[in-house]
Amino acid sequence: MTDRTDSLAAKLDKLRRADRQHAVFGASSHHYQLNNPVDGQTLDAVEASIGHSLPDDYREFITRVGDGGAGPFYGLLRLTDSDDQTADPSEIFPYSPDAPLLLDEIPQLSETVTQIERARDAEDDDVEEAAFDKYYAVLDQYYQQASRGIKFLAHEGCGMYDVLIVNGPQAGTVWFFDFCNDFGVVPINHPSTGAPMSFADWYEYWLDVSLADHHATPSWFA
């Protein structure tokens, strides 16, 4: 293993021994245990579906340390876990740090919200229902677009996820993905430096925050 992956494994072992009461958020669900490393057949199938190898740091972690289990929030998801089985990792992730997806800035959605509010004020159930149908149809279009070229890493709770970009110019960076709360998809930057976070950066930041304060929850946005 590389020195970085060795360091992650060592810090996880240190955290496991330090937090025996599982005070860190989510620890009571994964108990700081990792699943076995991913098998070669599964890895080959996933990488074939993407069209190339996974980002190096993530690939080494799941093949040498463990595939899912201990990790930020409710834990690291397995390689094959997904929020949406229709997501296509072979397609190019369509967003960039300069142009993320913020749902409250989508005119079609904001206009439909206005229609919903007006119909509710007028107590017009039929118009309100039609506006809701339109809203969710547009939201689904953006969801399908945002699901291109990603791998779900961890569930933060309440429908919020951290995802790894596996295809396109942003490949290797971790993003925040939240459609349940009508937020959108934005890059996760290191809170101290503002720099984009790789898988190893993301995982190590969780370890460092948790080792420093078992009751702290990572805050991703700089």
Q: Is residue 195 assigned to a domain?
A: yes
User: Measured between alpha carbons, how far is residue 1 from residues 9, 60, 101, 143, 200 in Å?
Assistant: 10, 7, 36, 36, 13
d(CA 175, CA 152): 10
Q: What is the pLDDT of residue 175?
A: 97
SS3 (DSSP) at 99? strand
Element (H, E) at 207: helix 199-212
Q: Is residue 157 assigned to a domain?
A: yes
Question: What is the arithmetic mean of pLDDT over 62-77?
Answer: 96
222 pLDDT above the threshold of 50? no
Model confidence pLDDT, tens digit, residues 109-144: 999 989 999 988 988 888 899 988 999 999 999 999
Model confidence pLDDT, tens digit, residues 30-58: 999 999 999 999 999 999 999 999 999 99
Range of the domain at 166: 3-101+142-212
d(CA 105, CA 113): 12
Q: Is residue 169 assigned to a domain?
A: yes
Q: What is the pLDDT of residue 107?
A: 93
SS3 (DSSP) at 170? coil
Q: What is the pLDDT of residue 85?
A: 61
CATH number of the domain within which 38 lies:
3.40.1580.10
Q: What is the pLDDT of residue 84?
A: 63
Q: Is residue 34 assigned to a domain?
A: yes
Q: Is residue 183 assigned to a domain?
A: yes
Q: Is residue 122 assigned to a domain?
A: no
Q: Is residue 114 assigned to a domain?
A: no
Query: Taking the mean position of all CA atoms in its chain, how far away is CA 87?
Result: 13
**Which strands form 184-187's sheet, in the order they lie side by side?**
101-102, 184-187, 174-178, 160-165, 150-157
| Residues in Cβ contact with 35 at an 8 Å cutoff, skipping those fewer than 6 apart | 66, 67, 68, 69, 78
Q: With contact defined as beta carbons under 8 Å apart, do 200 and 8 qualify?
A: yes
Q: What is the mean pLDDT of the chain?
A: 92
Number of domains in the chain: 1
Q: Is residue 95 assigned to a domain?
A: yes
Q: What is the dihedral sign for C-alpha 219, 201, 189, 94?
A: negative
